[in-house]
Amino acid sequence: MIWDTFTWTTPPWQRNEDCTHMAVTLVNTGGGEIAITTESVRGDDATEALADLLMGPGGKGSGTVLLPGLVGVVVRRGIDVMWMAQPPISISANGAGEWEIGVAGADPGEVTAFSATDAHDLFTRLWAAYPS
């Protein structure tokens, strides 16, 4: 993913608005186990929602992208507590040592999967653009 510029007037983590997306953070805890955490986030699209997760409360200070074993983040448009409680996400390691993330029953454009590399890259660019 390429994050050349940020075109928003107000960054999503500084907006006073309701959440519009759900973010599912996937972390490899070892032994073939993947831990998930879900959170409501703000943004006009999946990238802005990921930016809110990374820079908002619990993000910039604690460093979501610094989690050991981060596999990726799945962002879904809309808030659905049933989906949030048990997201239909499948994760598998491919032969190249990378993770493949799949989402069952997702409509095109409704769900975006970001790899750990994508999340790290976006965080680095956000930190450079918004250091405080």
Which residues have CB under 8 Å from 8's CB, separation 6+?
A: 44, 48
Report pLDDT digits (tens) over 7-29: 888 999 999 999 999 999 999 98
Counting DSSP H helices and E strands in the chain, the numbers are 3, 6
CB burial string 115-132: b at 16+ within 10 A, e below = bbebbebbbebbeeeeee
Amino acid at 93: A
Query: Domain-by-domain residue ranges, the chain?
Result: 19-129
DSSP H stretches of helix in the chain: 46-55, 81-85, 116-129
Two tokens, residue 27:
């972390």
Q: Please report which confidence band the pLDDT of residue 77 belongs to, taking 50, 70 and 90 as the band edges.
A: very high
pTM: 0.89
